[in-house]
Amino acid sequence: MPSRKGPHRGHKVADQIQRDLSELIPRELKDPRLGMVTIQSVEVTPDYAHARVYFSVLVGDPQQTEEALNQSAGFLRNALFKRLHIHTVPTLHFIYDRSIERAADLNALIAKAVASRGKDAEEA
């Protein structure tokens, strides 16, 4: 028997956390270690105790940004508590999302392979 709250509630909470953090981080955090942060996704545990927040950085050092965000996690959680209307606001864990870097590396490899294939075809 499914719960009354529905199976999608966790996704809705994660989406709302993502939207709120996207507003709060540039507006409320003044840490010089923070680069231009983009929240990629949020995963909330079923009991809402923890949330993994995946982010990327357009400008700035990813490692320093991750440290700054994790040090500010308590402040951000408190700010979320004021915005969200749920009983438990999860503890935030910020994780640098390397998927954009990997995609750029793969695109570069593909472009290199296509270019070398073109040279091979011209030589033949």
Residue-wise pLDDT tens digits, 81-120: 999 888 889 999 999 998 877 787 788 889 888 888 776 6
Question: What is the pLDDT confidence band of residue 5, given thresholds at 50, 70 and 90?
Answer: low
Q: What is residue 55's DSSP assignment? A: E
Is the pLDDT confidence value at 3 over 60? Answer: no
Q: Are 21 and 80 in contact (CB under 8 A)?
A: yes
**CATH for 46:** 3.30.300.20
- Please indicate, yes or no, if residue 35 is contained in any of the structural domains: yes
Per-residue buried b or exposed e for 24-50, using 16+ beta carbons within 10 Å of the residue's own CB: bbeeebeeebbbebebeebbbeeebee
Chain segment 41-70, per-residue pLDDT in tens: 999 999 999 999 999 998 889 999 999 999
Give the pLDDT of residue 8: 78
- Please indicate, yes or no, if residue 109 is contained in any of the structural domains: no
Q: 3-class SS at 34?
A: coil
Q: Which residues contact 72 (CB under 8 A, 6 or more apart)?
A: 29, 31
Mean pLDDT taken over the chain = 88
For the residues 14-29, what does the mean pLDDT come to?
96
Domain coverage including residue 34: 9-98
Number of domains in the chain: 1
Q: 3-class SS at 40?
A: strand
Give the pLDDT of residue 1: 39
| C-alpha dist (Å) from residue 35 to 63, 83, 90 | 10, 24, 24
Give the pLDDT of residue 122: 67
- pTM here? 0.79
